[in-house]
Structure 1
Amino acid sequence: MSDGTDNQADRFSKARSERASALLEDYTELIADLTEEHGEARLVDIARAMGIAHPTAAKAVSRLKREGLATSRPYRGVFLTEAGEAMAEKARIRHALVFDLLLAVGVPKEAAELDAEGIEHHVSDETLAAFEAFLKKG
Structure 2
Amino acid sequence: MDDYLEQILHLIEEKGYARAVDISKNLGISQASVTNMLQRLHAEGLVNHEKYRGTILTEDGRRIARAIVERHETLTRFLRLFNIDEETIYHDVEGMEHHVSRPTLDVIRALAETLESDPELLDRIRKKSG
Structure 1 length as normaliser, TM-score? 0.78
**Alignment of 1:56 onto 2:9:** no
Deviation at 1:53, TM superposition (A): 1.1
Q: Is the deviation greater in 55-64 or in 110-119?
A: 110-119
Deviation at 1:124, TM superposition (A): 1.5
**Alignment of 1:80 onto 2:52:** no
Counterpart for residue 40 of structure 1: 17
Structure 1: how far apart are the matches of 2:51 and 2:20? Answer: 11
Q: 2:39, 2:49 within 8 Å by CA — same for their partners in 1? A: no
Structure 2: how far apart are the matches of 1:66 and 1:75? Answer: 17
Q: 2:21, 2:31 within 8 Å by CA — same for their partners in 1? A: yes
Q: Name the SS of the counterpart of 2:94 in structure 1.
A: helix
Deviation at 1:59, TM superposition (A): 0.4
Write out per-residue CA displacement over residues 6-41 of structure 1, whole angstroms, 9 at most, x where no aligned residue: xxxxxxxxxxxxxxxxxx111111001111111111
- Choose which of 91, 106, 109 in structure 2 pairs with 1:129: 106
Supply the AA of the counterpart residue of 1:61. L
**Alignment of 1:95 onto 2:72:** yes
Structure 2 length as normaliser, TM-score? 0.83
Counterpart for residue 25 of structure 1: 2
Runs (5+) with no aligned partner, structure 1: 1-23
Structure 1: how far apart are the matches of 2:40 and 2:50? Answer: 15
Structure 2: how far apart are the matches of 1:74 and 1:94? Answer: 30
Runs (5+) with no aligned partner, structure 2: 116-130
Q: Is the deviation greater in 54-63 or in 125-134?
A: 125-134
- % same residue: 37
Supply the AA of the counterpart residue of 2:45. G
Structure 1: how far apart are the matches of 2:44 and 2:7? Answer: 17
Counterpart for residue 87 of structure 2: 110
Structure 1: how far apart are the matches of 2:98 and 2:70? Answer: 11
